[in-house]
Chain A
């Protein structure tokens, strides 16, 4: 009985892990404000997501970064000025369950668990920064 249970467990675990996949994450740090700013091509992939959501006049690209995770796994994406996004991801097959921690200089700004998909990025923001508001987008590539 014990042997058969162990065999089933090993077989199913093997089947589950055989689907482990590498996912590439892309994060971007953006400053939203009401000050005029020229369109930045680097924001193309997120601009259409931001415009319907917020009432800001402009979005300014600050920095971006990418990381690859072999799920389950973890990566940290540095976004400059002390900002970083640590992602611990599990799951696959078109979606990633991601434990996300956005920090600035060691202080946690946002901790969350989101289920990301290729067309479902996470947009974290709301932190006042000078004349604007900081936004960090995190999505699958």
Chain B
């Protein structure tokens, strides 16, 4: 058996895919080859560490907070590409003009667009393991952003 075959057998052995004859041949090669023996020991140690260092999945609410934060922060910006920027220059100027025009029209309206704006655009908590609940009380008009913690007491939002 050469070292290349032994390496393949070591890999398969770690997955429990060698039979008795292959195991015996591998052991025979390892007893005579210090390099393969060292490599096999290294792989075995790496496998042990991976099994022991397994990381538990974070709670769903923490993952959801991360997702919302990632969405809010947006995707990475476009890389500078001279050709692309040149082609977009006039389109960008036109879009900017329209945006400014619309902003001006909104500002000039007798009643601002805030009337139709959502009361809460987003909310999140930085407390570990906690989540937020958002509601708007139609009676009082109040906006409520309530942090839901695992140790939360018996009281809380009474609902709307």
**Dominant SS among interface residues on chain B:** mixed
Known: A94-B114, A110-B125. A13 touches B158 (CB 8 A): no
Q: Is the CB of A52 within 8 A of B158?
A: yes
How many B residues have CB within 8 A of the partner chain?
49
Known: A16-B104, A91-B112, A115-B119. A109 touches B127 (CB 8 A): yes
For residue A37, CB closer than 8 A to chain B, the reply is no
For residue B144, CB closer than 8 A to chain A, the reply is yes
Chain A residue numbers with a CB within 8 Å of B108 are 15
Q: Is the CB of A126 within 8 A of B143?
A: no
Q: Is the CB of B107 within 8 A of A16?
A: yes
Interface segment among A53-61, A62-70, A80-88: the answer is: A53-61
Number of residue pairs A-B, CB distance < 8 angstroms: 161
Chain B residue numbers with a CB within 8 Å of A128 are 149, 151-153
Q: Is the CB of B143 within 8 A of A54?
A: no
CA distance A13 to B160 in the complex (A): 41
Q: Is the CB of B118 within 8 A of A115?
A: yes
How many A residues have CB within 8 A of the partner chain?
49
B27-41 vs A: 1/0 string, CB under 8 Å?
000000000000000
A59 CB to closest chain B CB (Å) equals 11
B140 CB to closest chain A CB (Å) equals 5
For residue B145, CB closer than 8 A to chain A, the reply is yes
CB proximity to A under 8 Å, residues B109-125: 111-112, 114-115, 117-125
Q: Is the CB of A125 within 8 A of B147?
A: yes
A3 CB to closest chain B CB (Å) equals 12
- Within the complex, which residue of B122, B143, B160 is in contact with A120, where a contact is CB–CB below 8 Å? B143
Some 19 contacts from A to B, beta carbons below 8 A apart, are: A8-B101, A9-B97, A53-B142, A53-B158, A54-B157, A55-B155, A93-B112, A95-B114, A112-B121, A112-B123, A113-B120, A114-B121, A114-B145, A124-B145, A126-B148, A126-B156, A126-B157, A132-B153, A133-B156
Tell me the B residues contacting A by CB distance below 8 Å: 93-94, 96-97, 100-101, 103-108, 111-112, 114-115, 117-127, 132-133, 137, 139-149, 151-153, 155-158, 160
